[in-house]
């Protein structure tokens, strides 16, 4: 059994909900990532912020990213997976919610992220094709 913890990439970092989007963009650049989990004051997952969220939801709307917080961009119920979950559960969670990135939690702490690239490195071509079809086919683009 392959687990979420085995296929994730480590080193994921939270962005506190009170941090501004310009700081989030800087952190994304430093970490070379396109998404950051958003944490509340108790370091609990309260959302995920993507580079696209910053551009489309803030800049393109004429808002100043130095005045908008990550928490203001958090929408809906954040999805996550336990580090010990089987990879089939990872695939199901991502397919069911049409998401491309999934935070991995262990003992109530963020330990990593699973991205589309992580799946591509660990799934067969058939599994990856089925995953992509179910994530992209319904609406033409995944949520995150």
Look at residue 69 and tell me if it is in a domain.
yes
Look at residue 13 and tell me if it is in a domain.
yes
Look at residue 142 and tell me if it is in a domain.
no
This prediction's pTM? 0.82
Q: What is the reported pLDDT for 139? A: 53
Instruction: Give residue 74's pLDDT band: very low, low, confident or very high (50, 70, 90).
Output: confident
The rounded mean pLDDT for the chain is 88
Beta-sheet pairing, 15-16 with 35-39: parallel
Task: Provide the residue range defining the domain that includes 24.
Answer: 4-136
Model confidence over 79-106: pLDDT tens digits?
Answer: 999 999 999 899 899 988 888 899 999 9
Look at residue 143 and tell me if it is in a domain.
no
DSSP state, residue 78: P
Specify burial of residue 14 (Cβ count, 10 A radius: 0-12, 13-18, 19+): buried
CA–CA gap between residue 37 and residue 44 (Å, rounded): 10
CB 19 within 8 A of CB 28: no
| 59: Cβ contacts below 8 Å, ≥ 6 apart | 65
Look at residue 144 and tell me if it is in a domain.
no
Average pLDDT over residues 37-59: 91
Look at residue 62 and tell me if it is in a domain.
yes
Average pLDDT over residues 13-37: 94
Which has the minimum average pLDDT: 52-61, 93-102, 124-133?
124-133
Look at residue 26 and tell me if it is in a domain.
yes
Look at residue 141 and tell me if it is in a domain.
no
CATH code, domain carrying 44: 3.10.580.10
Average pLDDT over residues 101-116: 91
- Which residue's structure tokens are 């963009």? 25
Q: What is the reported pLDDT for 61? A: 95
Q: How many domains does the chain have?
A: 1
| 81: Cβ contacts below 8 Å, ≥ 6 apart | 4, 89, 90, 93, 102, 103, 104, 105, 114
């Amino acid at each position: 059994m392959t687990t979420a913890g085995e296929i994730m990439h480590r080193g994921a970092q939270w962005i506190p909900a009170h941090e501004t989007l310009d700081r989030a963009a800087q952190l994304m650049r430093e970490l070379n990532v396109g998404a950051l989990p958003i944490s509340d004051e108790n370091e609990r997952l309260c959302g995920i912020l993507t580079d696209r969220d910053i551009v489309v939801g803030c800049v393109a709307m004429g808002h100043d990213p130095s005045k908008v917080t990550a928490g203001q961009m958090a929408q809906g119920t954040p999805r996550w997976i336990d580090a010990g979950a089987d990879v089939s559960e990872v695939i199901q969670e991502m397919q069911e919610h049409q998401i491309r990135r999934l935070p991995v939690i262990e003992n109530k702490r963020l330990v990593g992220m699973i991205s589309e690239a992580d799946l591509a490195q660990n799934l067969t071509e058939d599994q990856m094709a089925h995953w992509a079809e179910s994530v992209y086919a319904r609406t033409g683009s995944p949520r995150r």
